[in-house]
Amino acid sequence: MKKDSRDTILSTATRLFQLQGYSATGLNQIIKESNAPKGSLYYHFPGGKEQLAVESINKMAGVIADLITSDFAEYGNVVEAIQIHIRKIGEGFDDIEHIEGIHIGLIAAETALKSEPLRQASKNAFDLWISIYEQKLIEDGYGEERAVQLSVLINSLIEGSITHALTYKNGDALRNAADFIPVLLKK
Protein backbone atom coordinates (compact mmCIF):
# COMPACT_ATOMS: atom_id res chain seq x y z
CA MET A 1 0.00 0.00 0.00
CA LYS A 2 1.69 3.17 -1.19
CA LYS A 3 1.37 6.53 0.49
CA ASP A 4 0.04 7.76 -2.85
CA SER A 5 -3.16 5.74 -2.48
CA ARG A 6 -3.73 7.15 1.01
CA ASP A 7 -3.30 10.72 -0.24
CA THR A 8 -5.52 10.04 -3.26
CA ILE A 9 -8.28 8.60 -1.09
CA LEU A 10 -8.03 11.51 1.36
CA SER A 11 -8.05 14.11 -1.44
CA THR A 12 -11.01 12.45 -3.12
CA ALA A 13 -12.94 12.24 0.15
CA THR A 14 -12.16 15.88 0.95
CA ARG A 15 -13.43 16.99 -2.45
CA LEU A 16 -16.61 14.92 -2.18
CA PHE A 17 -17.34 16.09 1.37
CA GLN A 18 -16.98 19.65 0.11
CA LEU A 19 -19.23 19.11 -2.90
CA GLN A 20 -21.88 16.86 -1.39
CA GLY A 21 -21.57 17.09 2.37
CA TYR A 22 -20.77 14.32 4.79
CA SER A 23 -24.08 12.46 4.71
CA ALA A 24 -24.38 12.34 0.92
CA THR A 25 -20.84 11.01 0.43
CA GLY A 26 -20.49 7.25 0.54
CA LEU A 27 -17.43 5.06 0.86
CA ASN A 28 -18.22 3.26 -2.40
CA GLN A 29 -18.19 6.59 -4.24
CA ILE A 30 -14.88 7.54 -2.62
CA ILE A 31 -13.39 4.18 -3.63
CA LYS A 32 -14.70 4.48 -7.18
CA GLU A 33 -13.58 8.07 -7.74
CA SER A 34 -10.17 7.55 -6.17
CA ASN A 35 -9.61 4.33 -8.15
CA ALA A 36 -8.43 2.72 -4.94
CA PRO A 37 -9.07 -0.86 -3.96
CA LYS A 38 -11.59 -1.22 -1.14
CA GLY A 39 -8.96 -2.90 1.02
CA SER A 40 -6.71 0.12 0.60
CA LEU A 41 -9.36 2.44 2.03
CA TYR A 42 -9.83 0.29 5.12
CA TYR A 43 -6.09 -0.27 5.46
CA HIS A 44 -5.38 3.47 5.57
CA PHE A 45 -8.62 4.49 7.27
CA PRO A 46 -9.75 1.67 9.57
CA GLY A 47 -12.28 4.08 11.13
CA GLY A 48 -14.04 4.36 7.76
CA LYS A 49 -15.92 7.44 6.64
CA GLU A 50 -15.80 9.22 9.98
CA GLN A 51 -12.01 8.89 10.15
CA LEU A 52 -11.75 10.13 6.55
CA ALA A 53 -13.85 13.18 7.42
CA VAL A 54 -11.83 13.91 10.57
CA GLU A 55 -8.59 13.68 8.58
CA SER A 56 -10.08 15.86 5.82
CA ILE A 57 -10.98 18.50 8.40
CA ASN A 58 -7.51 18.28 9.96
CA LYS A 59 -5.86 18.58 6.55
CA MET A 60 -7.88 21.65 5.59
CA ALA A 61 -7.39 23.21 9.02
CA GLY A 62 -3.64 23.05 8.45
CA VAL A 63 -3.88 24.39 4.90
CA ILE A 64 -5.98 27.35 6.05
CA ALA A 65 -3.71 27.99 9.05
CA ASP A 66 -0.73 28.12 6.70
CA LEU A 67 -2.57 30.61 4.46
CA ILE A 68 -3.49 32.82 7.40
CA THR A 69 0.07 32.72 8.73
CA SER A 70 1.47 33.52 5.29
CA ASP A 71 -0.87 36.47 4.81
CA PHE A 72 -0.02 37.77 8.28
CA ALA A 73 3.71 37.46 7.66
CA GLU A 74 3.38 39.43 4.42
CA TYR A 75 1.37 42.31 5.90
CA GLY A 76 2.48 43.88 9.16
CA ASN A 77 -0.68 45.80 9.94
CA VAL A 78 -3.33 43.52 11.42
CA VAL A 79 -6.24 45.31 9.73
CA GLU A 80 -4.64 45.08 6.30
CA ALA A 81 -3.52 41.48 6.87
CA ILE A 82 -7.02 40.30 7.83
CA GLN A 83 -8.61 42.23 4.96
CA ILE A 84 -6.22 40.69 2.44
CA HIS A 85 -6.78 37.24 3.90
CA ILE A 86 -10.58 37.52 3.67
CA ARG A 87 -10.43 38.94 0.14
CA LYS A 88 -8.26 36.01 -0.96
CA ILE A 89 -10.88 33.61 0.38
CA GLY A 90 -13.53 35.58 -1.52
CA GLU A 91 -11.62 35.22 -4.78
CA GLY A 92 -11.84 31.47 -4.41
CA PHE A 93 -15.63 31.67 -4.58
CA ASP A 94 -15.72 33.58 -7.85
CA ASP A 95 -15.08 30.33 -9.72
CA ILE A 96 -17.37 28.18 -7.61
CA GLU A 97 -17.28 25.24 -10.00
CA HIS A 98 -13.56 24.75 -9.32
CA ILE A 99 -13.48 25.40 -5.60
CA GLU A 100 -11.34 22.96 -3.65
CA GLY A 101 -11.21 21.95 -0.04
CA ILE A 102 -13.70 21.14 2.63
CA HIS A 103 -15.58 24.03 4.21
CA ILE A 104 -15.30 23.15 7.83
CA GLY A 105 -18.14 25.35 9.04
CA LEU A 106 -20.54 23.58 6.73
CA ILE A 107 -19.46 20.08 7.69
CA ALA A 108 -19.56 21.15 11.34
CA ALA A 109 -23.15 22.35 10.95
CA GLU A 110 -24.10 19.06 9.31
CA THR A 111 -22.38 16.71 11.75
CA ALA A 112 -21.77 18.40 15.12
CA LEU A 113 -24.86 16.91 16.75
CA LYS A 114 -24.30 13.47 15.19
CA SER A 115 -20.58 12.81 15.60
CA GLU A 116 -18.42 13.85 18.51
CA PRO A 117 -15.16 13.17 16.60
CA LEU A 118 -16.29 15.43 13.73
CA ARG A 119 -17.49 18.12 16.13
CA GLN A 120 -14.17 18.00 17.95
CA ALA A 121 -12.15 18.12 14.70
CA SER A 122 -14.16 21.16 13.58
CA LYS A 123 -13.70 22.82 16.97
CA ASN A 124 -9.95 22.17 16.81
CA ALA A 125 -9.81 23.78 13.35
CA PHE A 126 -11.67 26.86 14.54
CA ASP A 127 -9.52 27.06 17.69
CA LEU A 128 -6.36 26.91 15.57
CA TRP A 129 -7.46 29.75 13.29
CA ILE A 130 -8.79 31.83 16.18
CA SER A 131 -5.45 31.47 17.98
CA ILE A 132 -3.61 32.79 14.91
CA TYR A 133 -5.93 35.81 14.67
CA GLU A 134 -5.62 36.36 18.41
CA GLN A 135 -1.81 36.31 18.34
CA LYS A 136 -1.72 38.80 15.46
CA LEU A 137 -4.11 41.12 17.28
CA ILE A 138 -2.06 40.95 20.47
CA GLU A 139 1.12 41.67 18.48
CA ASP A 140 -0.64 44.74 17.07
CA GLY A 141 -1.45 46.09 20.55
CA TYR A 142 -4.91 44.74 21.34
CA GLY A 143 -5.46 43.54 24.89
CA GLU A 144 -5.73 39.79 25.38
CA GLU A 145 -9.45 39.74 26.27
CA ARG A 146 -10.34 42.00 23.34
CA ALA A 147 -8.13 39.94 21.01
CA VAL A 148 -9.96 36.75 22.00
CA GLN A 149 -13.37 38.35 21.42
CA LEU A 150 -12.35 39.83 18.06
CA SER A 151 -10.75 36.58 16.90
CA VAL A 152 -13.92 34.60 17.52
CA LEU A 153 -15.92 37.30 15.77
CA ILE A 154 -13.56 37.37 12.76
CA ASN A 155 -13.70 33.59 12.40
CA SER A 156 -17.50 33.65 12.67
CA LEU A 157 -17.71 36.46 10.13
CA ILE A 158 -15.61 34.47 7.67
CA GLU A 159 -17.52 31.22 8.19
CA GLY A 160 -20.89 32.96 7.78
CA SER A 161 -19.64 34.77 4.69
CA ILE A 162 -18.50 31.44 3.21
CA THR A 163 -22.03 30.07 3.57
CA HIS A 164 -23.33 33.19 1.82
CA ALA A 165 -20.67 32.90 -0.90
CA LEU A 166 -21.64 29.31 -1.62
CA THR A 167 -25.31 30.23 -1.76
CA TYR A 168 -24.80 33.18 -4.11
CA LYS A 169 -21.93 31.52 -6.02
CA ASN A 170 -19.58 34.48 -5.65
CA GLY A 171 -17.20 36.02 -3.13
CA ASP A 172 -19.09 39.30 -2.63
CA ALA A 173 -20.02 38.55 0.99
CA LEU A 174 -16.37 37.95 1.85
CA ARG A 175 -15.24 41.14 0.12
CA ASN A 176 -17.96 43.02 2.00
CA ALA A 177 -16.78 41.47 5.27
CA ALA A 178 -13.21 42.52 4.47
CA ASP A 179 -14.37 46.09 3.88
CA PHE A 180 -15.77 46.25 7.42
CA ILE A 181 -12.67 44.92 9.19
CA PRO A 182 -11.35 48.48 9.87
CA VAL A 183 -14.63 49.30 11.63
CA LEU A 184 -14.55 46.06 13.59
CA LEU A 185 -10.93 46.50 14.64
CA LYS A 186 -11.12 50.18 15.49
CA LYS A 187 -9.14 50.71 18.69
121 CA to centre of own chain? 11
47 CA to centre of own chain? 22
Task: Give CA separation, 83 vs 31, 103, 108, in Å.
Answer: 39, 20, 25
34 CA to centre of own chain? 22
| Contact (CB, 8 A) for 56 and 64 | no
Cα angle 163-165-169, degrees, rounded to a multiple of 5:
125
pLDDT tens for residues 150-172? 999 999 999 999 999 988 989 99
pLDDT tens for residues 85-136? 999 999 988 876 666 666 888 889 999 999 999 999 999 999 999 999 999 9
Above 90 in pLDDT, residue 1?
no
pLDDT tens for residues 30-62? 999 999 988 899 999 999 999 999 999 999 999
Which class is domain 53-184?
mainly alpha
- Answer whether 0.85 is exceeded by the pTM: yes
| Contact (CB, 8 A) for 133 and 154 | yes
Count of residues making up the chain: 187
Residue 2: what pLDDT? Answer: 47
| Extents of the domains making up the chain | 53-184
